[in-house]
Every structure is written in C-alpha cells, then in structure tokens.
Amino acid sequence: MRQVGAFEAKSKLGQLLDWVEAGEEVIITRRGKVVAKLVPPRSGGADEEQIRAAVMRIRQMRRGVTLGDMRIKDLIAEGRL
C-alpha cells in the first residue's frame, strides 16, 4: 500500500490512478493524517444478494412510519423536502 501527501496526490493524480488500476491501494494524507484511500473497484459490482437484503432492511424500517396528518405536497411547499 502506497502513501502520498495531498499536494503530491493533486499533482500526480494520473499516476495514482494507474497504481490503483493495477490493483494497489493508495493512502492520501494531509499533515500526516489519513484523509482518503483510493482502492480498485470490487469486481462485478454489488452482489445481487446484498442488494436484495438492503432493500428488505429499508422496507422493514419504514413499516409503520407515517406522516400523520401531513401530506408530502405540504412539506414540499414548506421547503422541508
């Protein structure tokens, strides 16, 4: 894993992307503190099973949640959404 400062990362972004494309991870620091981590994308994208599980969790969380006597149109008109 490589580590570079923010200034160097700014001036050598192309090289950093080449390293990440080759499978390396790059840590970017500012004043000695880690502020970012460049990593290659996971192959194949998101796992279909993980997506389905996340959707189910969201659906379970929203069960029983209502706006009471408010309507979405009213909230939008008030600038709350």
Q: What is the pLDDT along the chain (81 residues), one digit of tens a residue?
A: 899 999 999 999 999 999 999 999 999 999 999 999 999 987 766 788 889 999 999 999 988 888 888 888 888 888 865
Q: Which residues contact 7 (CB under 8 A, 6 or more apart)?
A: none
Q: Which residues contact 81 (CB under 8 A, 6 or more apart)?
A: 72, 75
Task: Say what the pTM is.
Answer: 0.53
Q: State how far the Cα of 19 lies from the Cα of 25, in Å rounded to an integer.
A: 8
The span from the first CA to the last CA of the chain, in angstroms, equals 42
